[in-house]
Amino acid sequence: MKFSLILPAFLNACTNCKEINSRNMPQPISQEQRAELVRNGWELNTDGRDSAFKKHEFADFNEAFGCMTRATLKAESILHHPEWINVGTSSKSR
């Protein structure tokens, strides 16, 4: 059985972010960065939110949960708090 996790684009786009503090909040990604995300298999949300996501497949729940844990630590480090939805064997974040 495959397990899936949909991760937000910030994991890719913010790997070069400066250290963030209250005066230096992350900026929206550029049109060029959006185009690069799409070329790499990411999908842009069409619900009015300025966000993107990508679905990933995992061999088992442990691998999927480990990835989600790492994503949580990365999100916290850049002051991003995604919306997580976990149902059964799949997870989605925005």
> Where are the chain's structural domains?
3-19+28-93
Give the CA distances from residue 8 to residues 1, 56, 88, in Å, rounded to whole numbers and listed in that order. 23, 11, 19
pTM above 0.85, yes or no: no
pLDDT confidence of residue 16: 45
Sheet-wide strand order for 52-58: 43-44, 52-58, 3-8, 90-93, 84-87
For the 3-19+28-93 domain, the top CATH level (class) is: alpha beta
pLDDT tens by residue, 39-76: 988 888 887 777 777 777 777 788 778 888 888 888 78
Least confident of 13-17, 26-30, 40-44, 84-88: 13-17
pLDDT confidence of residue 76: 82
Which of 86, 6, 75 has the alpha carbon at shortest distance from 41? 6
